[in-house]
Structure 1
Amino acid sequence: MVKKKTGGTKEEESIVLEYLTKANRPYSATDVFNNLHAKYTKSTIVKILDKLIDDELVFSKTYGKTIIYSIKQNEEESPSEKDMEKMEKSINELNQELEVLLEENKKLEQTMTQLTAKPTTTEAQQLVEKAKLKNEEMRKKLNDLKSGTVLIPSEKRKRINEEYTRNRDLWKKRRRLFNDIFKTVTENYPGNPKELKEQLGVEEDPVPLEKDPLE
Structure 2
Amino acid sequence: MVLKEQKKNSKISQEEGKIIVSDYLKKEFRPYSATDLVLNLHSRISKSNMTKILEELVEDKEICVKSYGKNSFYFYKAISFDSNYKTECEAKRDMNKLLKEESEILENELTEVNKSLCLHISKFFIQ
TM-score by length of 2: 0.51
Structure 2 CA distance for aligned equivalents of residues 42 and 75 of structure 1 = 28
| 1:75 Cα deviation from its structure 2 partner | 4.2
Partner SS, residue 64 of structure 2: strand
Structure 2 gap ranges (5+): 1-12, 82-127
| 1:73 Cα deviation from its structure 2 partner | 1.1
Per the alignment, residue 9 of structure 1 pairs with 14
CA distances 1:125-148 after superposition (whole Å, capped 9, x unpaired): xxxxxxxxxxxxxxxxxxxxxxxx
Partner SS, residue 27 of structure 1: coil
Amino acid at match of 1:22: K
2:79 is equivalent to residue 74 of structure 1: yes
CA RMSD of aligned residues (A): 1.4
CA distances 1:162-201 after superposition (whole Å, capped 9, x unpaired): xxxxxxxxxxxxxxxxxxxxxxxxxxxxxxxxxxxxxxxx
Residue 59 (structure 2) aligned to one of 44, 54, 63: 54
CA distances 1:56-109 after superposition (whole Å, capped 9, x unpaired): 001111112111111111248xxxxxxxxxxxxxxxxxxxxxxxxxxxxxxxxx
Amino acid at match of 2:52: K
Larger relative contact order (CA 8 Å, sep ≥ 6): 2
CA distances 1:148-167 after superposition (whole Å, capped 9, x unpaired): xxxxxxxxxxxxxxxxxxxx
Per the alignment, residue 18 of structure 1 pairs with 23
CA distances 1:19-55 after superposition (whole Å, capped 9, x unpaired): 0000100000000000000111101001000000010
TM-score by length of 1: 0.31
Structure 2 CA distance for aligned equivalents of residues 22 and 54 of structure 1 = 20
Residue 68 (structure 2) aligned to one of 60, 63, 67: 63
Structure 1 gap ranges (5+): 1-7, 77-215
Residue 46 (structure 2) aligned to one of 37, 41, 48: 41
Structure 1 or 2, whichever has the larger Rg, is 1
Structure 1 CA distance for aligned equivalents of residues 80 and 60 of structure 2 = 17
| 1:9 Cα deviation from its structure 2 partner | 2.0
Q: What is the correspondence of 1:124-143 to structure 2 with a 5 Å cutoff?
A: none
- Show structure 1 runs of 4+ deviating over 2 A: none
Kindly tell me: are residues 55 and 75 of structure 1, through their superposed partners in 2, closer, same or farther at Cα, counting changes over 3 Å?
closer
